[in-house]
Structure 1
Amino acid sequence: MLDAKMPEAWRVLRIQSELVDGIEQLIKLKGAVTVFGGARFEVGSRYYEMARELGGLLAEAGVPVITGGGPGIMEGANRGAYEREGASVGLNITLPREQDANPYQSISLSFRYFFVRKFLFIKNAVGFAILPGGFGTLDELFEALTLVQTEKVEPFPIVLLGKDYWQGLLKWMEESILANGCIDQEELSLFSVVDTPAEACDIFTRHLVSLATE
């Protein structure tokens, strides 16, 4: 929600303060994986537990976990990392509903502006894990694909978890976007689709090893 009564110049200063504070708080965080997914999945549901397992595996591998800090998939990933004493970061945002900060965070920040939060999702991450979710999750997925496609960031793994959930989207990409020449065949390789947290974790850890040897 915009600050309706705040003069434009002062709004810029608020944006700047969020950006500076976020960078300062996360300055020591390196080689993280950002996990996205829907806020509406309950504790114990298939995808919540998948996120929790992924968070735990990443923590065991020494990889920090970043999420949007809310419930559902975000809570699951934070919880998995937190339970294994890994770095568990939540970048929360003020929303009309759904977005209460989960308790499984070693670093918790709060934002008013989506674009500041999105910048910090990417700045400290070497990979994105995309679990089932709604419009917000799709927004993050396609923004990541666009940044890699346009070479605005160094290429990093974008991994979709849950083949059955994503198969309709993949079919549409092939039969509509690709068939109409809006993307090239090789651009479908900008992301991977896996069924287990272990497969996703393996992709991220192999990428980290490759970065260390460059």
Structure 2
Amino acid sequence: MKVAIFISSRGSNMQALVKASQEEGFPAEIVTILSNNPDAGGLEFAKAHNIPTKVINHRDYDNRDDFDAAINEYLEGMQIDLICLAGFMRLLTADFVNRWRDSIINIHPSLLPAFKGLHVHERAIESGARFTGCTVHVVRPEMDDGPIIAQAAVPILQKDTPESLAARILEQEHKIYPLALKLMAQRKVKIHGSIARIEGCVESEASLLNPEA
């Protein structure tokens, strides 16, 4: 499976995906790293690992449709099968998402459907919730919506700040995103309406769908 990863900054989840993809027998190949930001730090990581990069700067386009059309043209030229969003800070149009239906996945730093959007860790702490976490999901046109592939629960500690909580959640993100990509590449993720079911999953993989914090 040929994969494109979208980033806007350093792309720590992108780095986790790249490292996983270099393991022997991994069923997906990262063929390009795309960014809307020419100064994204993750581009240097990609170049150091001999992965082709592409910058499509949203500021060069008059509207979102033209920006997404440029991305789509590039992806089709690269014969991409799957898109992984890894800190890509641009909302994709509904037309683009529907064109790539069930072929875009994203990671979000909460247990969706809770705490969609921004300032997630601050909101989780302020809510008084005892647990939060992270979610890999199939992308739909609505923000932070779509069938859930994998989640990891992380406790919210009494002493937590948004920064300390974010750091612990990020550790789990780096576990479940490579797993979700692997499951997608193995065609084990089957979409049934709003539900993603994992079929043919071995016990060790199933246990990692919600790893201990």
Same fold by TM-score, threshold 0.5 exceeded?
no
Larger helix share, 1 or 2: 1
Larger strand share, 1 or 2: 2
Relative to the length of structure 2, the TM-score reads 0.45
Relative to the length of structure 1, the TM-score reads 0.44
